[in-house]
Amino acid sequence: MLASLKGKSVIVTGGSQGIGLGISLAFARAGAFVTIAARGEEAGANAVEEIALAGGAGQFLQCDVTQWQAVKAIVDETANENGLDIICANAGIFPKQTIEEMEPEQWDHVLDTNLRSSFYCVKAALPHMKEAGQGRIILTSSITGPITGDAGWSHYAASKAGQLGFMRTAALELAPHKITVNSVLPGNIRTEALDDLGDAYLKKMGQTIPLGRLGAPQDVASAVLFLASEEAGYITGQQIVVDGGQVLPEGLEAPD
């Protein structure tokens, strides 16, 4: 456990399920107060209950991350009531659609949810973190886009690669205010959304990962907690790949 996280105030967008829930629970166990920002009220309430059962403290604020005023409102409310030390721009979607089949509106929806929302989170958090003289911002990107490609996910790949370009410039602009901006790049992490892709997909992907298994949300959360800690205070504009070695093999054969 990173002792420096105790008592910190954290916002996790998309924090009610999947990787986001794993991040939320990890922060709560480390002693932080967690604000979960997500659309679904039921999932949000369930996540806060899980945090309480884990011995942590938190709240749910309903938010559509594609809307600037909605993001600004939950960031302002959290900062005014609890302060704001860390924000995790984690919310994301990955509907499968080939370029040929994709409508422009579908492209826009993925870019708005995954990339535009990262800008909104940073912009909304900036005045509060500047006033505090410090802050940690962590983006949840992906290996898809920055490192790999996959048929059916051109919009997702573009959004995740875009996050890293945004991250580097944001890190430069915010560094004078002692605010760091970093990113985690998960590989195939076993979540509800990944389960929807079917057992055949999960088995195939698991066989191609050198460490022999799909990742768990906690695997990503551990990297996020490090980047959010005081111990990572001299790291900014960087990315950590959390994929069990998935991108390492040169060939298509699964490792022995």
**DSSP secondary structure letters along 31-82:** T-EEEEEES-HHHHHHHHHHHHHTT-EEEEEE--TT-HHHHHHHHHHHHHHH
Element (H, E) at 124: helix 117-132
Longest Cα separation, the chain: 54
Q: Which residue has the tokens 């609890």?
A: 82
Catalytic residue, candidates 120, 156, 201, 234: 156
Q: Would residue 234 show up in a list of annotated catalytic residues for this protein?
A: no
Q: Chain-centre distance of CA 165, in angstroms?
A: 16
- Distance of alpha carbon 62 from alpha carbon 101, whole angstroms: 32
Catalytic residues: 156
